[in-house]
Amino acid sequence: MGQWEGAAGLTTQAPRAAQAVTLPASLDEAVAALAAMPAAVPVAGGTDLMVAVNSGQLRPAALVGLGRISEIRGWQYQDGHALLGAGLTHARMGRPDFAALIPALAAAARAAGPPHIRNAGTLGGNIVSAAPTGDALPVLAALEATLVVAGPGGARREVPVSHLLAGVEMLRGGELVGYVRVPLLHAPQVFLKATGRTGPGRATASVALVLDPARRGVRCAVGAIAPMPLRPLEAERWVAQFIDWDNDRAIAPEVLTAFGEYVATACVPDAEPAQDGTVPPLPPAVLHLRRTVAALARRALGRALS
Amino acid sequence: MSSEATTTTETALPAAEPLPHGLGVSLPSTDIRAKTEGTFPYTADLWAEGLLWAAVLRSPHPHARIVSIDTRHAREMPGVRAVITHEDVPGSALLGRGAVDRPVFASEVVRHHGEPIAAVAADHPDTARMAAAAVIVEYEVLDPVTDPEQAFEAEPLHPDGNLIRHIPLRHGDPDAVGETVVEGLYRIGRQDPAPIGAEAGLAVPRPDGGVELYLASTDPHTDRDRAAAVYGLPPERVKIVVTGVPGATADREDQGFQVPLGLLALRTGCPVKLTVTREESFLGHVHRHPTLLRYRHHADAEGKLVKVEAQILLDAGAYADTSAEALAAAVSFACGPYAVPNAFIEGWAVRTNNPPSGHVRGEGAMQVCAAYEAQMDKLAKKLGLDPAELRLRNVMATGDVLPTGQTVTCPAPVAELLEAVREHPLPPLPKDTPADEWLLPGGLEGAGEPGAVRRGVGYGLGMVHMLGAEGTDEVSTATVKVQDGVATVLCAAVETGQGFTTLARQIVQETLGIDEVYVAPADTDQPPAGAGCRSRHTWVSGGAVERAAKMVRTQLLQPLAHKFGMSTELLQITDGKITSYDGVLSTTVTEALDGKELWATAQCRPHPTEPLNETGQGDAFVGLAFCAIRAVVDVDVELGAVRVVEVALAQDVGRVLNPAQLAARVEAGVTQGVGIALTENLRTARGLVRHPDLTGYSLPTALDAPDIRIVKLIEERDVVAPFGAKSVSAVPVVTSPAAIASAVRAATGRPVNRLPIRPQAAVVTTQ
């Protein structure tokens, strides 16, 4: 009973079917491989895709593995911006050198699940799977990041990340997200995530907040509460005027609280008024979500300015 | 196998040290290495030549009438070898553990989301799944009964009616009243046992027209008998071979897929295998009973309990399973380990169209513990007493009477347990240890803010019964064989991770003085050992192993004792050597055996119990185990995030048989309790299971698990138990959720009437 031995004729080896896997070494080779076999599915970390494959929900005819494309596994600098490879893993983005460049993205990467997921999951995968709870997404929305999309024949086109997430512009057949262009703001950034637990879990709400001292702006995005990150633009503009940009970026505590409320009301709006004009109260769970967003936004701005 | 066992032990320990053996030492399990390295074969790893794959079609509705089932398309698909429905069941059409009221396949009506309707065998798992999906079932969707309170009035969902059991317990004076009265309404969610290894099975037809089932069954003989009845075969033509069990805190296997597997194997004449998906696992197996509890506690001015009134409603789901037993535990332990002179407890287990409930560790006792401990907190607050002090004034001791009229005859050192956890130093506050990183509620990269965190300390006292109650025949049989200085144990007690095989080795080592002990795998060709729950196997199977080993000892020593004219008691065996008390005789076991094989088989059957009568009175339990827990939590009172910082536990264990294994069981139990308290709830929406996956259903991870301090283990031997050992696994599961809720109450001042604790229930609003 301790060690179970199979009866005669039983083994523990199952034969496995071979699958067509291409492992291109460059972005253009990968695009060409996709063009040559339109039924093939690109896979980077596979933390979402392989779950679907293993559970039998997805049976791709072939896979194009992106793991050997070294050009998209690092980053480079380009006129005040960082050009992040889509193959950067969460583990890599969580390291201190990256955190010094884009602190909020590093924080989101560190929060993005348990170590084995962070070791495999990539920035590009987080974007294209576009799960509402994708932790990098509110950060990219707050940074107003732009995607560099590689197409057939060496073509490159740029798509704002919010356009892709909102479905305004889609990836076309055979295209791959190659890079993500984000501004280097040289100012504090915060990513905060509320989960129902202490261990790694999906966000119930998250807030990314970045300061843009050059433009004297605050940019904020709320994740996980809607199909895509929400930007409370009015609240951002409103709060920016209360920050003493020249004097240690000081702010009054009551403004922090009001900012939290402003963001929360914008992102978790009241219910539609009834026929007689009365506004029905929000259900307790929604009210709690609004309270959570308010606390996260207040804490995020407070930490960015402290 | 035994050579491998030896290697494992050697590598697990420093080579120089002698191997531990006997009772009371931390003998490591023989399969540690294989399990750690991932080479241990579980059912899902099995393979046979000519294997077919099965799939089960399950109901997408919680309640519907089946108008028609058309299997024609599925049968015609290439690669499909058999499609079976209720029409293809040759024998009994009903299944179930405890009560037998669950159809093998739904025929006229489906009563819960995920109920099996048909099964398919095909040459590829995908083909099988597609064929199952191609079975056309026409449903007439009915309104589901999902609120257990509605079940009383609703149309019967089942020929046996909606009321599965009602216990109106009456004990003492109904007119007694206390000066202080507190009331409360409590709700406990639906915990899923969520075994890490989901269910799998392999059925192999036998040449004699029977079938062998390879399953991770925890009660092989009961499962075999049910399966044989369904196949219309005599039990001896069906054999269940127990494979490695990948986690069992409940009746882990869903009969709804294991029994059809055998039918498919008999029908096709080929081996048939099924590995369920996580979703099917959540839908198929039994869950912890969601429970609604209404309580009224009466106490005098000093806080002594005068009377407890309670109404307890268990949601049994669509089928009865072991709900009657869970209800008996809930009603009997409704007052907890407190001396209560007057108790009036009304309990019901009712049928609904929710997912089925059944045996999950600590069933019944866990739900009431959360409620009566909340009541004790409420009472302490109302009387202005320290919650631990109030508990101390009321704790029971040996000689007190349970509300069922049964006198507690076993050790019940409840006061001592509570004092032990109360006196244990509190964990340091973060400001005392600034060098350590403070793990805030919400986790390492969470949103926690130290300024919003409040700490709370809470207490819980819990009790469980051991072995089956109310007249269940709890018997186990074991055989011990000695040959060439090696002992073999044959016993159908299933190693579910509780450590039975290790314990069996220790018992034989202790009794026979032979270190090399091999425990054979369990199957139904051996005599029954019963289900692996409520610490049965330590008690009855361990007891049977000990008796058999003693009989072998007598057989071994009798000739020598006779020859030297002394009684066998004056001889001892250590390290394979037989010596007499005076040192005159010294020989080895191998020499004494002289090439013979010695066999002995023995049974262990604890003293009988009786069913609860119509007023809930009766000596229903063989033994009781107690535990006290002090939980310390940090709560981010703005986000409602809770982190359990520390759980200090004192437990009444009777006797420690294997310290390392005991600590592991306690830690696992507490962690399961953390899940009940904070995250684990299988949600349903009008009877439909929501998020049946491990993302939506959050099991505790290492970061969620608190520091678990075993402050005290009281070893007061229970004289009726073999070795004097008590249950250790269940009582921490029962008690820790109550203690955690108590601590959250202390931190937030909120009532916390519902488990798991939702974040909004732990928020402190300033307005």
CA distance B623 to B465: 6
Inter-chain touch B447–A299, beta carbons under 8 Å? yes
CA distance B373 to B511: 43
Token look-up 């590598």 returns: B11
Q: Nearest CA of chain A to the CA of B701: how many Å?
A: 6
> Which residues in chain A have Cβ-Cβ distances shorter than 8 Å to B442?
193-195, 198
Share of chain B above pLDDT 90, in %: 60
- CB within 8 Å of chain A, chain B residues 716-755: none
**Domain pair B2-40+475-604 / B44-142+201-245+252-276, same fold:** no
* Average pLDDT value for chain B: 89
pLDDT at A19: 61
CA distance B399 to B401: 7
Same structural domain for residues A38 and A82?
A: no
pLDDT at B258: 86
Question: pLDDT tens for residues B174-201?
Answer: 999 999 999 999 999 999 988 888 888 9
Q: Which residue among A107, A196, A288 places its CB closest to the CB of B763?
A: A288
Inter-chain touch B442–A13, beta carbons under 8 Å? no
For residue A296, what is the nearest residue in chain B, using CA coordinates? B447
pLDDT at A7: 42
At B139, the pLDDT band (50, 70, 90 cuts) reads very high
* Strand duo B102-103 + B94-95: pairing: antiparallel
Residue B641, chain A, CB below 8 Å: the answer is yes
Residues in chain B: 767
CA distance B192 to B288: 6
* Strand duo B641-652 + A41-43: pairing: unpaired
Lowest mean pLDDT among A269-273, B370-374, B381-385: A269-273
CA distance B599 to B548: 8
Classify the phi-psi angles of B471: left when phi > 0, otherwise alpha if psi is within -120 to 50, otherwise beta: left
- What is the rounded average pLDDT of the residues B74-86? 94
CA proximity to B341, closest of B389, B365, B310, B308: B308
- What is the rounded average pLDDT of the residues A224-242? 95
Same structural domain for residues A53 and A125?
A: no
Same structural domain for residues A208 and A178?
A: no
Tokens of B370: 């959360």
Question: Does A139 fall in a domain?
Answer: yes
Inter-chain touch A11–B679, beta carbons under 8 Å? no
Quote the pTM value: 0.92
Q: Which residues does B723 contact at the CB level (< 8 Å), separation at least 6? A: B23, B507, B538, B542, B543, B546, B654, B655, B657, B717
CB contacts < 8 A (A, B) = 143
- What is the rounded average pLDDT of the residues A108-131? 94
Q: Nearest CA of chain A to the CA of B8: how many Å?
A: 11
CA distance B287 to B308: 28
Is residue B274 within 8 A of residue B201, CB to CB? The reply is yes
> Which residues in chain A have Cβ-Cβ distances shorter than 8 Å to B703?
198-200
pLDDT at A272: 86
3-state secondary structure string across B445-477? CCCCCHHHEEEEEEEEEEEEEECCCCCCCCCEE
Inter-chain touch A288–B760, beta carbons under 8 Å? yes
Question: pLDDT tens for residues B604-621?
Answer: 888 889 999 999 999 999
Question: Does A3 fall in a domain?
Answer: no
To probe the interface with B, which of A1, A51, A95 has the most B CB atoms within 10 Å?
A1
Tokens of B133: 């999906």
CA proximity to B199, closest of B135, B116, B91, B269: B116
Question: pLDDT tens for residues B523-533?
Answer: 888 888 888 77
Q: Which residue among A1, A11, A295 places its CB closest to the CB of B520?
A: A1
Inter-chain touch B703–A299, beta carbons under 8 Å? no
> Which residues in chain B have Cβ-Cβ distances shorter than 8 Å to A14?
47
> Which residues in chain B have Cβ-Cβ distances shorter than 8 Å to A3?
1, 4-5, 30-31, 34, 40
Give A22-25 contacts, CB < 8 A, sequence gap 24+.
A22/A62, A22/A63, A22/A64, A22/A65, A23/A65, A23/A67, A23/A68, A24/A64, A24/A65, A24/A66, A24/A68, A24/A69, A25/A68, A25/A69, A25/A70
CA distance B220 to B120: 24
Question: Does A4 fall in a domain?
Answer: no
CA distance B135 to B88: 15
* Strand duo A75-78 + B571-574: pairing: unpaired
Lowest mean pLDDT among A23-37, B80-94, B103-117, B515-529: B515-529
Is residue B717 within 8 A of residue B655, CB to CB? The reply is yes
At B18, the pLDDT band (50, 70, 90 cuts) reads low
Is the pLDDT at B165 greater than 80? The verdict is yes
For residue A195, what is the nearest residue in chain B, using CA coordinates? B442
Is residue B609 within 8 A of residue B471, CB to CB? The reply is yes
Q: Which residue among B212, B278, B442 places its CB closest to the CB of A198?
A: B442
CA distance B401 to B390: 19
To probe the interface with A, which of B639, B671, B683 has the most A CB atoms within 10 Å?
B639
Inter-chain touch B701–A199, beta carbons under 8 Å? yes
DSSP string, A186-237: -S-EEEEEE-SSSSS---SEEEEEEEETTTTEEEEEEESSSSS-B--HHHHH
Same structural domain for residues A256 and A229?
A: yes
Q: Mark which of A183, A203, A220 sits at the end of a domain.
A: A183
Residue B28, chain A, CB below 8 Å: the answer is no
Q: Nearest CA of chain B to the CA of A285: how many Å?
A: 7
Residue B9, chain A, CB below 8 Å: the answer is no
Inter-chain touch B34–A3, beta carbons under 8 Å? yes
3-state secondary structure string across B102-132? EECCCCCEECCCCCEEEEEEECCHHHHHHHH
pLDDT at B127: 92
* Strand duo B211-215 + B200-205: pairing: antiparallel
Same structural domain for residues A177 and A211?
A: no
Question: For the domain bounded by B2-40+475-604, which CATH number is listed?
Answer: 3.30.365.10
Same structural domain for residues A223 and A249?
A: yes
First and final CA of chain A: distance in angstroms?
A: 61
* Strand duo B342-350 + B305-315: pairing: parallel
Residue B714, chain A, CB below 8 Å: the answer is no
Is residue B159 within 8 A of residue B354, CB to CB? The reply is no
Is residue B724 within 8 A of residue B654, CB to CB? The reply is yes
Looking at the structure of chain A, the number of domains it has is: 3
**Angle in degrees, CA A118, A61, A166, rounded to 5:** 55
**Angle in degrees, CA B535, B541, B544, rounded to 5:** 145
Residue B763, chain A, CB below 8 Å: the answer is yes
For residue A107, what is the nearest residue in chain B, using CA coordinates? B445
Same structural domain for residues A237 and A277?
A: yes
DSSP string, A254-283: HHHHHHHHHHHHHHSPPPPP-TTS--PPPP
Question: Does A1 fall in a domain?
Answer: no
Q: Which residue among B243, B639, B643 places its CB closest to the CB of A194?
A: B639
Classify the phi-psi angles of B142: left when phi > 0, otherwise alpha if psi is within -120 to 50, otherwise beta: beta
Same structural domain for residues A94 and A196?
A: no
Is residue B326 within 8 A of residue B347, CB to CB? The reply is no
CA distances (Å), origin B360, targets B200, B469, B556, B671: 19, 15, 43, 15
> Which residues in chain A have Cβ-Cβ distances shorter than 8 Å to B521?
1-2, 4-5
Question: Does A122 fall in a domain?
Answer: yes
CA distance B44 to B276: 9
Is the pLDDT at A17 greater than 60? The verdict is no
pLDDT at B36: 87
* Strand duo B707-714 + B342-350: pairing: unpaired
Which stretch, A51-60, A279-288, B376-385, has highest mean pLDDT? Answer: B376-385
Inter-chain touch B447–A192, beta carbons under 8 Å? yes
Question: pLDDT tens for residues B731-745?
Answer: 999 999 999 999 999
Question: Does A110 fall in a domain?
Answer: yes
At B252, the pLDDT band (50, 70, 90 cuts) reads confident
Question: Does A2 fall in a domain?
Answer: no
Q: Mark which of A183, A218, A242 sits at the end of a domain.
A: A183
Domain chopping of chain B, boundaries: 2-40+475-604, 44-142+201-245+252-276, 291-469+611-762
Is the pLDDT at B19 greater than 90? The verdict is no
Inter-chain touch B641–A196, beta carbons under 8 Å? yes
Q: Mark which of A150, A183, A216 sits at the end of a domain.
A: A183
Token look-up 């599925």 returns: B74
Inter-chain touch B442–A195, beta carbons under 8 Å? yes
pLDDT at B3: 39
Three-class secondary structure of residue B143 per DSSP: coil
Is the pLDDT at B329 greater than 70? The verdict is yes
B587 membership: H or E segment, kind and range? strand B586-588
Token look-up 């690092």 returns: A74
Which alpha helices (H) appear in B269-364, and where do they start and end?
A: 278-284, 323-332
pLDDT at A12: 47
For residue A10, what is the nearest residue in chain B, using CA coordinates? B48
Q: Which residues does A248 contact at the CB level (< 8 Å), separation at least 6? A: none
At B626, the pLDDT band (50, 70, 90 cuts) reads very high
Same structural domain for residues A225 and A282?
A: yes
Is the pLDDT at B331 greater than 90? The verdict is yes
- What is the rounded average pLDDT of the residues B384-411? 94
Same structural domain for residues A47 and A146?
A: no
Inter-chain touch A3–B40, beta carbons under 8 Å? yes
Inter-chain touch A292–B443, beta carbons under 8 Å? no
- What is the rounded average pLDDT of the residues B70-76? 94
Q: Which residues does B432 contact at the CB level (< 8 Å), separation at least 6? A: none
Q: Nearest CA of chain B to the CA of A3: how many Å?
A: 6
- What is the rounded average pLDDT of the residues B723-731? 87
> Which residues in chain A have Cβ-Cβ distances shorter than 8 Å to B641?
194-198
CA distance B737 to B287: 17
Which alpha helices (H) appear in B232-318, and where do they start and end?
A: 255-268, 278-284
Question: Range of A37's domain?
Answer: 20-65
Q: Which residue among A9, A199, A202 places its CB closest to the CB of B48?
A: A9
Lowest mean pLDDT among A100-109, A205-214, B271-280, B453-462: B271-280
Higher-confidence residue of A174 and A298: namely A298
* Strand duo B476-483 + B486-491: pairing: antiparallel
Q: Nearest CA of chain A to the CA of B211: how many Å?
A: 13
- What is the rounded average pLDDT of the residues B77-100? 90
Question: pLDDT tens for residues B627-663?
Answer: 999 999 999 999 999 999 999 999 999 888 889 999 9
- Report phi then psi at B349, rounded to 5: -120, 125
Is the pLDDT at B68 greater than 70? The verdict is yes
Lowest mean pLDDT among A71-85, A226-240, B571-585: B571-585
Inter-chain touch A107–B46, beta carbons under 8 Å? no
Q: Which residue among B41, B129, B702 places its CB closest to the CB of A199?
A: B702
Same structural domain for residues A147 and A248?
A: no
First and final CA of chain B: distance in angstroms?
A: 67
Is residue B80 within 8 A of residue B131, CB to CB? The reply is yes
At A15, the pLDDT band (50, 70, 90 cuts) reads very low
Q: Please report, for the domain that includes residue A38, its CATH number.
A: 3.30.43
A29 membership: H or E segment, kind and range? helix A27-36
Q: Which residue among A199, A204, A295 places its CB closest to the CB of B704?
A: A199
From 2.60.40.2470, 3.90.1170.50, 3.40.630.30, 3.20.20.70, which CATH number describes the B44-142+201-245+252-276 domain? 3.90.1170.50
Same structural domain for residues A177 and A117?
A: yes
Is residue A116 within 8 A of residue A46, CB to CB? The reply is no
Residue B685, chain A, CB below 8 Å: the answer is no
* Architecture in CATH of B291-469+611-762: 2-Layer Sandwich (3.30)
Inter-chain touch A194–B442, beta carbons under 8 Å? yes
- CA A267, distance to chain mean position in Å, is 18
Is residue A299 within 8 A of residue A220, CB to CB? The reply is no
Inter-chain touch A1–B760, beta carbons under 8 Å? no
Question: Does A13 fall in a domain?
Answer: no
Lowest mean pLDDT among A113-122, A159-168, A177-186, B498-507: B498-507
